[in-house]
Structure 1
């Protein structure tokens, strides 16, 4: 039996957003009326005269993110389904709706879906002439060896500091730099005795044993880093404080005491008392909470976040704001909405012919289609066995348009933008978004007058930035990067040779740093070529021929 109050599971998030808006104490929030699947909460008093600050992510973390929209904090929040990143279209509509000439800053928690979707939306927004920057919050210290630490409750403090800077009229670069500085001086760690339950699912016996707590479990219920055999509040606070102190070092701190959703107010007060008597007591300048700021549905747990203070951060934290998250309830007010014409994001182009480009596109798409079964077989050894089908699906889409003379072959920048748009739609999964980022960013650089090799390398840089993988992580980047670097210095034949050598190098990599292969042990990876790297190498080989 479900433990949640709700009427319609499919409408749960939309219903909750309406409740949030009609209880807004300052009457300053509006839901942008675009499409029922696009959930954007924005300031109704926004005039685009300052830098916009946008955040968002999956629902279930309330009051994050809609509860931080208002004067002095976020300009808008984009709300996905429960624990699911909002779509690229939703994020793009939010950016365009609230961003003026000053630009906007995206604040994103360090999860792959959020990074990719916000990243692609940022790249698309640049096509509309908008200035967009992004900072990634990675405050979780639970997994010290993880190259991509998660973004958790400390994200709320970055919202506050960035919102303060924007409200002061600072430039986009200044707002970004201040937010990034906050990220670099922020550390969080959480603990729970019960994980969260999803609405509509049957209650099951939890994985955490009675009398134990998990240290460092994720805000989506991901297993923790270790288990502590105690419910003693003093012992648990001390267990959290030590690694936080080791990371943060000396200084004065603001400490956020975050309720992950299922801890009683009595217990949170008791834990605050323990914090006040802990080894950190002489360095605590401010307490924020105890309160839910970035929760995890009904998770029986809490987290601590340490922000090392400077003069700017201290002013920012103490500046009044007009938001739900830190304000008392007010009298009921009806929901307000604002009509907004849906944004149609599509590349405008005129089909054209170019024999050389035609031959290159035909060779690349035919190669990927012919490789489908081979790549699937390789991927079955290290992943979920669909790499070949995913790439072939995208290749068929482009090949069909080529056959019907529906591509701007004589305008390569537009061609890349169109390919980027189509791959995000038809390929699916992270691969589609990654390749879309690659071609979209490369298309922008070509339009700015960069050479083809420079543009492709820029596309690669953005793919690495948003996707988080790099050379040596056993991905297609291990073939693509050396190929593009060789192309910049020489010709397509040298690029093909470099790509093949890069693909072959993945057979000797015993640990994948990204993708599904990162969950596979080294014995299963040994001697197996990464399927994405093979795809890249074979395409360059076909182009060289």
Structure 2
């Protein structure tokens, strides 16, 4: 099982509540302190002039329920310990604190502990003269013909509708009827790839790799069925068909809930498949994707459906002042703007220049001839593919040269074309770095007609974008001194400088760039950098 970020299990819920209150967005929440271990979050702006809505249950489902306390949804949330119903006293004190003459509706999920503790608290509150009603959410449809379905994420629909009706100033009977009608109009089902992590529980996850549990509970209860882990759209299709069978509808809203452990990119895929499923075809509104009622870190999701009428539609679309309600989106089409690619495609007319052709052929042939040697060096200090990568670029240029498809008589344009071609055939960073080099060099040559200055400009851009410098044990250790010597003392000096630069990498026991930077000094000592060696061989071949 995975580890958890936690102080002590005993303080986990209180620590979570404090974190919520420290960073609340609307400054409308308060912890009710009864001088004991009761944990209740309530609206600090509550005036007791309307029907109060209370929900709660075991913690571990955050942001439910405290995240939905605020105008338009809950008046208070009663927090139990991890996956445990809050005490009767906690529920009763919450009811007594928030209930005015308009009364209070208590919304619970269909679990024995919640039914008993909240139920007894309601009865005690009635004895004390409070006008209280309770409704029980049972939206889980995973077990066919189950006489006591569990309450899961569809509970949030009840919060939203009841909260909206209460906010309109309706009486308790009307609010209760709206809540019960909502309960009768919803269905939910979940699926997970792993169960949740519990503090101090080192047992292995019961869900095997490559499997998924359909219909599991939000406390980590086993699912009704273990199935093969298929593509997301197949999982969604199974859930969609079950929901529509249990709750046939032609106008509905869909809530997409992250059970805690799925990444945003996974939830976006789930959402795409939900919208494109049979369930999504007649969906008018969507809530989520978002973590709304979680099971700590369970890697899974649930889908809930609510049949819409005008009241429920207005309720879902109404504003709330809560931290966790994500709002509602109407069904949209995928917005696509057709565009013409603006990436530069160089147009040119091939031209001939024998001297340039010979130099280019020599360079390419030298690199291809040294493919095995370069790969051998890179096997020691890298991932063994420098020779193959460089040779693939050389073969591409050589093929274009043999086909007379290069602007050989326009050196600036030729370098730009080579830069473009290298990115199409050379993998990894080397192709991009050499493309930067030739592209910048071509631009400089066109402006100055100075070959050495052009190469130096290309190298400067390569160093700027690649982040390597002289001494970092790369091809730059040979290129930089070679170009400096060429500009000052001619090409013969450049050949000597390239060899000296490549030789200097033999004694460099620390690489600061490329894959060699991950290796220790013993591996690098006495081994020439493959890129610098390639530069050395190219300069030497051009001097013959």
User: Please, what TM-score do these two structures have when normalized by structure 1?
Assistant: 0.59
Determine if the alignment matches structure 1 residue 146 to structure 2 residue 155: no
Q: In the TM superposition, what is the alpha-carbon distance from 1:2 to its structure 2 partner?
A: 6.0
Report the count of equivalent residues.
327
Cα distance per residue 1:438-461 (max 9 Å; x no partner): xxxxxxxxxxxxxxxxxxxxxxxx
Q: Do 2:287 and 2:326's aligned partners in 1 also have CA atoms closer than 8 Å?
A: no
Cα distance per residue 1:92-122 (max 9 Å; x no partner): 0000000001100000000000000000000
Structure 2 CA distance for aligned equivalents of residues 26 and 146 of structure 1? 41
Cα distance per residue 1:386-417 (max 9 Å; x no partner): xxxxxxxxxxxxxxxxxxxxxxxxxxxxxxxx
5+ long unaligned stretches in structure 1: 329-545
Q: Do 1:109 and 1:138's aligned partners in 2 also have CA atoms closer than 8 Å?
A: yes
RMSD: 1.2
Instruction: Tell me which residue corresponds to 1:271.
Output: 270
Structure 2 CA distance for aligned equivalents of residues 35 and 83 of structure 1? 23
Q: In the TM superposition, what is the alpha-carbon distance from 1:7 to its structure 2 partner?
A: 1.4
Q: In the TM superposition, what is the alpha-carbon distance from 1:220 to its structure 2 partner?
A: 0.6
Q: Do 1:91 and 1:121's aligned partners in 2 also have CA atoms closer than 8 Å?
A: yes
Instruction: Tell me which residue corresponds to 2:239.
Output: 240
Q: In the TM superposition, what is the alpha-carbon distance from 1:280 to its structure 2 partner?
A: 2.2
Instruction: Tell me which residue corresponds to 1:254.
Output: 253
Instruction: Tell me which residue corresponds to 2:221.
Output: 222
Instruction: Tell me which residue corresponds to 1:122.
Output: 122
Instruction: Tell me which residue corresponds to 2:111.
Output: 111
Q: In the TM superposition, what is the alpha-carbon distance from 1:232 to its structure 2 partner?
A: 1.1
Q: Do 2:110 and 2:151's aligned partners in 1 also have CA atoms closer than 8 Å?
A: yes
Q: In the TM superposition, what is the alpha-carbon distance from 1:36 to its structure 2 partner?
A: 4.0
Determine if the alignment matches structure 1 residue 312 to structure 2 residue 295: no
Instruction: Tell me which residue corresponds to 2:84.
Output: 84
Q: In the TM superposition, what is the alpha-carbon distance from 1:326 to its structure 2 partner?
A: 2.5
Q: Secondary structure at the match of 2:278?
A: coil
Instruction: Tell me which residue corresponds to 1:171.
Output: 171
Q: In the TM superposition, what is the alpha-carbon distance from 1:11 to its structure 2 partner?
A: 0.7
Q: Do 1:24 and 1:323's aligned partners in 2 also have CA atoms closer than 8 Å?
A: no
Instruction: Tell me which residue corresponds to 1:526.
Output: none
Structure 2 CA distance for aligned equivalents of residues 281 and 177 of structure 1? 28
* Residues 11/124 of structure 1: CA separation in 2 closer, same or farther (3 Å cut): same
Q: Do 1:4 and 1:200's aligned partners in 2 also have CA atoms closer than 8 Å?
A: no
Structure 1 CA distance for aligned equivalents of residues 21 and 154 of structure 2? 24
Instruction: Tell me which residue corresponds to 2:292.
Output: 293
Q: In the TM superposition, what is the alpha-carbon distance from 1:285 to its structure 2 partner?
A: 0.4
Structure 1 CA distance for aligned equivalents of residues 268 and 16 of structure 2? 27
Structure 1 CA distance for aligned equivalents of residues 280 and 19 of structure 2? 38
Q: Secondary structure at the match of 1:201?
A: coil
User: Please, what TM-score do these two structures have when normalized by structure 2?
Assistant: 0.59
Instruction: Kindly report which structure 2 residues correspond to 1:372-451, keeping only aligned pairs within 5 A, or say none.
Output: none
Cα distance per residue 1:229-284 (max 9 Å; x no partner): 12310110001011111111132111000000001110000110111111223201
Cα distance per residue 1:416-449 (max 9 Å; x no partner): xxxxxxxxxxxxxxxxxxxxxxxxxxxxxxxxxx
Q: Secondary structure at the match of 1:280?
A: helix
Structure 2 CA distance for aligned equivalents of residues 71 and 145 of structure 1? 36
Instruction: Kindly report which structure 2 residues correspond to 1:192-231, keeping only aligned pairs within 5 A, or say none.
Output: 192-202=192-202, 204-231=203-230
Q: In the TM superposition, what is the alpha-carbon distance from 1:145 to its structure 2 partner?
A: 2.6
Q: In the TM superposition, what is the alpha-carbon distance from 1:201 to its structure 2 partner?
A: 2.5
5+ long unaligned stretches in structure 2: 328-544
Q: Do 1:2 and 1:199's aligned partners in 2 also have CA atoms closer than 8 Å?
A: no
Instruction: Tell me which residue corresponds to 1:477.
Output: none
Instruction: Tell me which residue corresponds to 2:35.
Output: 35
Q: Do 1:260 and 1:294's aligned partners in 2 also have CA atoms closer than 8 Å?
A: yes
Q: Secondary structure at the match of 1:80?
A: strand
Instruction: Tell me which residue corresponds to 2:190.
Output: 190
Q: Do 1:54 and 1:77's aligned partners in 2 also have CA atoms closer than 8 Å?
A: yes
Structure 1 CA distance for aligned equivalents of residues 144 and 10 of structure 2? 37
* Larger gyration radius, structure 1 or structure 2: 2
Instruction: Tell me which residue corresponds to 2:25.
Output: 25
Instruction: Tell me which residue corresponds to 1:303.
Output: 302
Q: Do 2:63 and 2:293's aligned partners in 1 also have CA atoms closer than 8 Å?
A: yes
Structure 1 CA distance for aligned equivalents of residues 218 and 53 of structure 2? 23
Structure 2 CA distance for aligned equivalents of residues 309 and 263 of structure 1? 28
Instruction: Kindly report which structure 2 residues correspond to 1:312-391, keeping only aligned pairs within 5 A, or say none.
Output: 312-326=311-325
Instruction: Tell me which residue corresponds to 2:56.
Output: 56
